[in-house]
Amino acid sequence: MDILYKILIEPFVFMGEAPDLLIQTLWEGLVSGVLYALIALGFVLIFKASGVFNFAQGIMVVFAALTLVGLYEKGVPAFLALILAAVTMLVLAVLVERIVLRPLVNQPDIILFMATFGLTYFLIGFGELIFGGNPKEMITDALFLPQGTTELDMLGGRVRLQHLDIAAAVIASIMIGLLAVFFSKTRIGRALRAVADSHKAALSVGISLNQIWVIVWFAAGIVALVAGIMWGARSGVSFSLQIIALKALPVLILGGFTSIPGAIIGGLIIGVGEKIGEFYWGPLVGGGVETWLAYVIALIFLLYRPQGLFGEKIIERI
């Protein structure tokens, strides 16, 4: 009975006793959720338009951030470095489309998945060769990212909000809003949605698939750059960020591979669930549950909705 009490009642009592801690935990969960969502967004963009499960998204985040910091260290002004990093992602998108995607068109999904593995390896080697394997500091000051914290008095306690986290949430929201407008209002955005619906139908009305692929890989590269800046500002730019990108996978399956709102809501659920679980239930089993809790949450959701929360309904025919 004691163990049941500890699992089922004690954490909730604790939540009620210290609401400020609960709010703090929720806030941290939301912020990391937004950042997960940002990485997941890169996956979704590419998956929707080309059906490729892009494993290289994680390394693209690292690569974009490294390019930015590396250029800045060479003496390039920060905003020029930002533009150059974006150009690098464009070049990468063109090269990937030319060298990897075009010859592999019409292959099974798993082969394309594998090809992005090859890309990941290549980018790891290439990135380390050029920028070195050591972790770097993100240039927060030069990019005018705010630092410091605000402490709010509420509910009989204090809640600390990092300015950086607030900026991350705002920038991520703007980014998502821009993408939503881009997808629904512009010509290219409509073409992207057409391709996502059906490759063949899109081709038949004169949409160039190759062009679209370059555009989505570029868009995913930009998302990766933003995610890289935000994650880099929190935990430094190093190749271990790539592992954090794996956290975007449960977000993806939770939200559904093909849904942008799904990526966002999934990110928030995973971020909050993970932090709450770690903080309130983690100590019962010795802590460190953060590494797998996200996957288990996603797994439980999947058992009820195999296509994710917002994914397209799976219809099977013989």
Can you give the binding site for another protein, defined by CB under 8 A? 53, 99-100, 103-104, 107-111, 113-115, 117-126, 128-129, 133, 243, 246, 249-250, 252-253, 257, 285-286, 288-289, 291-292, 295-296, 298-299, 302-303, 306-308, 314, 316, 318
Q: 24 or 50, CB closer to another protein?
A: 50
Closest contact distance (angstroms) between CB of 315 and another protein is 11
Q: Of the two residues 118 and 177, which places its CB atom closer to another protein in the complex?
A: 118
Asked whether 67 and 221 are in contact (CB, 8 A), the reply is no
Rounded Cα distance, 27 and 45, in Å? 27
Q: Which of 53, 38, 43, 9 is nearest to 172 (CA)?
A: 38
| 230 vs 265, beta carbon nearer another protein | 265
* Cβ-based neighbour number of residue 3 at 10 Å: 8
Output the smallest distance, CB 54 to another protein, in A: 11
As measured in angstroms, the least distance from the Cβ of 308 to another protein is 7
From the CB of 137, what's the least distance to another protein, in Å?
A: 21
* Smallest distance from another protein to CB 297, Å: 9
Comparing CB distances to another protein, the nearer of 45 and 168 is: 45
> 254 near 271, Cβ under 8 Å?
no
C-alpha Rg value of the chain to the nearest Å? 21
Which CB contacts under 8 angstroms, 24+ apart, belong to 100-103? 101/50, 101/52, 101/213, 102/210
Q: Which is nearer to another protein, 14 or 117 (CB)?
A: 117
CB 32 within 8 A of CB 164: no
We find the least distance from the C-beta atom of residue 47 to another protein, in angstroms, to be: 9
| Residue 184 to residues 49, 187, 310, 311, Cα–Cα distance (Å) | 14, 9, 18, 18
* Residue with Cβ nearer another protein (238 or 307): 307
Residue 288 CB neighbours (<10 A): 10
